[in-house]
Amino acid sequence: MKKIIKNIHVLLLLISISLTAQQTPAPKQTNTITIEGATAHIGNGKVIENSLIVFNEGKITFVGSATKKIERQGTIINAKGKHIYPGFIAANATTGLIEIDAVRATKDANETGNMLPHIRSIIAYNAESKVTETLRPNGVLMAQVTPRGGTISGTSSIVQLDAWNWEDAAIRIDDGIHMNWPSTLTYGRWWLGEDEGPKENKNYVKTIQKVNNFMNDAKVYAKGSKFPKNIPFEAVQGLFDGSKTLYTHVSGAKEITDVVTFSKEMGIKKIVIVHGFEAYKVADLLVKNNIPVLIDRSHRLPSSDDSDIHSPFKQAKTLIDKGVLVGIGMEGDMERMNTRNLPFYAGTYAAYGLGKENALKLITSNTAKILGIDYFVGTLEVGKDATLFISEGDALDMRTNILTDAFIKGRKISLESHQTQLWKRYMDKYNNQ
């Protein structure tokens, strides 16, 4: 009897896994693939009508016009009337770190503590996430997996979104450290009846001093015997030699200015501003110091009561017109499930003055440059990874973003998810009535 019960438990476990696990990752590319006739959006502002794109062994080998006399090789995909794009990149995202917000055991984005540069998000990344598989049908094929919380949150890594495990997913490990810079203002908790404010943050200078002390101690540690080993100090050394980027989550103009000053004093080589609601006020400073900005998604409220109601939609164009390199980050309410809407956030920026091809850069070439991966992804160019997709229409428009094929390093990946399965199930129900 015990053996029967044990077998039933095993069977139930296997059924549970089959119902919840992600699709099996695609195998390596084994034959050449040629895509012909599509309108190719290169990702750097260029467009090729009636294009020909060839890739083999995961790398793009030809990009050009289909009118050129070049031999069609391997599997030929007729994409006439369709559009082809480089895979979209979701920066500053927590995909794969949180599955269900209401279940604490599935939340790995936020660790206890304040100075946590040694917390590596890549180790917690769940390649089996059901949320992750919902991103691919909209063309989001890569993500910067980012920790949250504390003053120094931890270290991010960049992954591709069709993998067996975190080792298989990683395309750049430990790319940067994320820091939440304090605000000069504080706001009361309205749900507790407090005055909403804003009020002066009396701890602003004190918090910055703590960060200064931490970084100075880390620099002193690097010059000493390094015994006993200090893991947090070890983790930030890449900021001083340029191998890691400091992603500073900050919004106000004064705070951004203080971040730039702090970075110079500390000898930090590379920084990126994340959020940057008032970055336009100090755009000259950012351009002078070659500092890019990862702005928030466009579908949000203005940052202050007296802001233009359309200011979130115009932020990308405002900064780009001033010469700032801009990408889109995903932090915000319900960000895991909303990450699938990344192309539509870019589409909104396009509608408010930026234009489609420049808006496309926000989630392809610009983001790739900001993350330091532009030498192998971000555009459709010879020698780069064949991480791309074919859409029936404009991929920045939710009405026409309908993918027919998608590839990561030349591997043809599944575009199914629990959401597409439910859609098909209920479409069948109503179609059969």
**Domain positions in the chain:** 24-87+379-415, 88-377
Q: What global pTM score does this model have?
A: 0.92
DSSP state of 383: T
Distance CA 160, CA 171 (A): 7
pLDDT per position as a tens digit, 157-172: 999 999 999 999 999 9
pLDDT on residue 212: 97
Do the Cβ atoms of 137 and 101 come closer than 8 Å?
A: no
Helix (H, G, I), strand (E, B) or coil at 356: helix
What parts of the chain have a pLDDT lower than 70? 1-22, 333
pLDDT on residue 336: 78
Query: What CATH code would you report for 88-377?
Result: 3.20.20.140
Structure tokens at 318: 């405002």
CB atoms within 10 A of CB 226: 12
Q: Do domains 24-87+379-415 and 88-377 have the same CATH topology?
A: no
74 Ramachandran zone, left/alpha/beta (phi>0; psi -120 to 50): left
The alpha helices in 128-279, defined as continuous H runs, are 166-169, 204-223, 231-235, 237-241, 253-266
pLDDT on residue 21: 54
Structure tokens at 212: 């200064």
- DSSP H or E run through 201: none
pLDDT on residue 319: 98
pLDDT on residue 102: 82
Query: What CATH code would you report for 24-87+379-415?
Result: 2.30.40.10
pLDDT per position as a tens digit, 72-114: 889 999 999 999 999 999 999 999 998 888 888 888 888 889 9
Among candidates 396, 389, 411, 409, which has minimal Cα distance to 35?
Answer: 389
pLDDT on residue 83: 98
pLDDT on residue 245: 98
